[in-house]
Amino acid sequence: MTQTDIKPFTKEDLEKADVQLLRDGRWGNARVSVANINGKRWTIKDFSDRRWLVKNSFAKFVLWRELKAVRKLHGLEGVPTEAFMVTPHMLAIEYIPGRVLNRVPKEEVSPTFLEECEEIIRSIHARHLVHLDTRGTSNWVMQVNGKPALIDFQASVDTQGLPQKIRSFMEDMDIGGVYKKWKKYCPDEMGEFREKENERIAKLRKLWVLRGYFGVKKRNAKHGKPIDN
98-115 per-position pLDDT tens digit: 999 999 999 999 999 999
**Residue 207: which pLDDT band, with cuts at 50, 70 and 90?**
confident
Q: Which of 185, 223, 187, 190 is nearest to 105 (CA)?
A: 185
Question: Domain 3-96 adopts which CATH fold?
Answer: Phosphorylase Kinase; domain 1 (3.30.200)
Residue 227 has a pLDDT of 65
Checking if the pLDDT of 3 tops 80, the result is: no
The mean predicted confidence, pLDDT, of the chain is: 89
* Segments making up each domain of the chain, as ranges: 3-96, 98-207
Question: Domain 98-207 adopts which CATH fold?
Answer: Transferase(Phosphotransferase); domain 1 (1.10.510)
User: 119: number of CA atoms within 13 Å, CB side?
Assistant: 12
Quick one: average pLDDT of 58-77? Answer: 94
Q: For the chain, how many helices (H) and strands (E)? A: 6, 11
Sign of CA dihedral 110, 111, 113, 114: positive
Q: In this predicted model, what pLDDT tens digit does every residue of 115-163 receive, in sequence order?
A: 999 999 999 999 999 999 999 899 999 999 999 999 999 999 999 999 9
Checking if the pLDDT of 213 tops 50, the result is: no
